[in-house]
Amino acid sequence: MNKLIYFILPFLLLGCLISCDSSGDEDPLDVFREIAYNSLTVAEKSTLVDQDFRAAEVTAWVDGYYLVVFRTTEDATLGPIRVVVDPTRGVVVEKLTRP
């Protein structure tokens, strides 16, 4: 019985390690992108060039806020959708007017 445990134990540990593997592919700014994306209306979401919110551009903004920019099919006439996010509270501060 002891020999069987020593034989099976490495496979169980290997299985646990593989299942607990955390992929480092996640972008920490995706949290702010998702907060901004959830603030968009259905009509705004329907005009996005890339329907995946992770494609939005995130840059630093004033007072420690982040600016999330969504490209739309209406950029030529209305400009992109720009949303300011407060990283501390995890909320949208404002949607900037489209230039």
Reported as a single tens digit per residue, the pLDDT across 14-52 is 454 445 445 556 788 999 999 999 999 999 999 999 989
The two tokens of residue 17 are 């390690």
Is there a domain that residue 4 lies in?
no
Is there a domain that residue 9 lies in?
no
Parent domain of 52: 28-96
Is there a domain that residue 3 lies in?
no
Strand order of the β-sheet with 91-96 is: 57-60, 66-70, 81-86, 91-96
DSSP 2-52: HHHHHHHHHHHHHHHHHHTPPPTT--TTHHHHHHHHHTS-HHHHHTBSSSS
Tell me what percent of the residues of the chain surpass a pLDDT of 90.
69
Is there a domain that residue 45 lies in?
yes
Distances from the Cα of 12 to the Cαs of 18, 22, 23, 57, in angstroms? 10, 18, 20, 42
Number of domains in the chain: 1
The two tokens of residue 78 are 């209305």
